[in-house]
């Protein structure tokens, strides 16, 4: 019989399907409700202030985490209540897919910043679309599995678990491919060592102060010429942040796959601590990491580079025009 029936088997019964194999910790859930509230609302502030609208999926994922852990708080008083169980199970499951969607966009912005499309396995135009599409597919399958579990019957629970496992495998494959694409791009870029961006992206020396403000005082000083070294742009710290976040999400996804493959009576599902170590904590670190190394710096640097490109182009056109006039007079 399903978990919503009047009869409730023992939480230790290996032959029965039960929502939890333990009484969820109220204190632990509250700690992470507060933690995700802090980082999520800080992201909302940064989102509005920096106008980085492409980070909306990450913010939504933060709210999913908050609501999910509220579900675990509610489950503490009634482990058999299906609503709070499905709420926490579904939202905590799919939130990292939303984090991943924003990470895909960050790589696209980095490629634009350093004019590195030729080093990417996938054209920048299609990179974000392709990975977000795969993420949405995985999201829908996992969400569908959680929705089927909401029916509450035993067969629905098992069917939902199978769909969730399939969605997690798709997410693992797609996210692993993304890490490969990012790594290949990084390797090709550094191997070719383009010390200077193309001359069309040259910057006037009169804006050195503005560039330093965008890239940080620890960056190398502006080169004496009008061309800009990619080392003066903040792409490295952001691609390393991207790697860290990607590894955290990958570890969490592997944990979730193993957890579901072990089944309802598996070792991982019997011990709540693993959820907080390999899911909650890792996902909090992902959000906090992007509070600290916010991608708005990449966007601002790219916009300034384009503005200077236009300015330099206009200056060169004016010089060509004056040179032509001098030639006519000669």
pLDDT of the residue at 326: 43
pLDDT of the residue at 37: 98
- Tens-place pLDDT, residues 162-193: 898 899 999 899 999 999 999 999 999 888 86
- Rounded distance, CA 139 to CA 150, Å? 17
Detail the DSSP E strand segments found in the chain.
Answer: none
- Residue 26's pLDDT band, with cuts at 50, 70 and 90, is very high
Residue 320 has pLDDT above 80, yes or no: no
- Residue 294's pLDDT band, with cuts at 50, 70 and 90, is very high
So where are the chain's domains? Answer: 26-194+239-293
Compute the half-sphere exposure of residue 166: CA atoms within 13 Å on the CB side of its CA. 13
pLDDT of the residue at 319: 53
Residue 219 has pLDDT above 90, yes or no: no
Residue 94 has pLDDT above 70, yes or no: yes
- Residue 124's pLDDT band, with cuts at 50, 70 and 90, is confident
Residue 323 has pLDDT above 90, yes or no: no
pLDDT of the residue at 68: 97
Contact 113, 309 (CB under 8 A): no
Burial 77-110 (b: 16+ CB within 10 A, else e): eebbbbebbbbbbbbbbbbbbbbbbbbbbbbbbb
- Tens-place pLDDT, residues 257-293: 999 999 888 899 999 999 999 999 999 999 999 999 9
- Highest mean pLDDT, choosing among 28-37, 81-90, 156-165: 28-37
- Rounded distance, CA 39 to CA 34, Å? 9
What's domain 26-194+239-293's architecture?
Answer: Up-down Bundle (1.20)
Q: pTM (2 decimals)?
A: 0.81
Identify the DSSP state of 198.
Answer: -
Which residues have a Cβ under 8 Å from the Cβ of 117 and sit 6 or more positions away? 111, 123, 124
């Amino acid at each position: 019989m399903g978990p919503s029936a009047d009869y409730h088997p023992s939480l230790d019964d290996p032959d029965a399907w039960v929502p939890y194999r333990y009484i969820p910790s109220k204190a632990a859930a509250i700690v992470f409700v507060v933690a995700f509230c802090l980082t999520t609302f800080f992201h909302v502030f940064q989102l509005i202030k920096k106008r980085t609208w492409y980070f909306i999926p990450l913010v939504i994922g933060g709210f999913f985490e908050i609501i999910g852990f509220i579900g675990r708080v509610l489950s503490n008083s009634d482990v058999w209540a299906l609503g709070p169980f499905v709420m926490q199970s579904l939202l905590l499951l799919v939130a990292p897919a939303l984090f991943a969607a924003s990470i895909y966009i960050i790589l696209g912005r980095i490629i634009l910043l350093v004019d590195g499309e030729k080093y990417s396995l996938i054209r920048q135009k299609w990179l974000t679309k392709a990975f977000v599409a795969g993420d949405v597919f995985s999201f829908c399958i996992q969400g569908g599995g959680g929705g089927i579990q909401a029916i509450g019957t035993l067969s629905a629970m098992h069917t939902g678990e199978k769909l969730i496992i399939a969605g997690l495998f798709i997410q693992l494959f797609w996210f692993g491919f993304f890490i490969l694409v990012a790594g290949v791009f990084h390797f090709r870029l550094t191997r070719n060592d383009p010390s200077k961006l193309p001359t069309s992206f040259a910057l006037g020396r009169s804006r050195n102060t503005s560039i330093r403000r965008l890239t940080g005082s620890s960056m190398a000083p502006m080169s004496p010429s009008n061309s800009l070294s990619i080392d003066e742009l903040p792409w490295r710290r952001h691609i390393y942040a991207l790697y860290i976040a990607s590894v955290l999400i990958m570890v969490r996804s592997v944990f979730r796959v193993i957890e579901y493959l072990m089944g309802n009576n598996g070792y991982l599902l019997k011990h709540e601590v693993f959820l907080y170590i390999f899911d909650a904590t890792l996902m909090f670190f992902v959000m906090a990491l992007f509070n600290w190394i916010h991608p708005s710096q990449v966007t601002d640097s790219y916009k300034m580079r384009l503005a200077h490109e236009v300015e330099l182009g206009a200056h060169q056109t004016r010089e060509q025009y004056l040179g032509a006039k001098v030639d006519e007079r000669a």
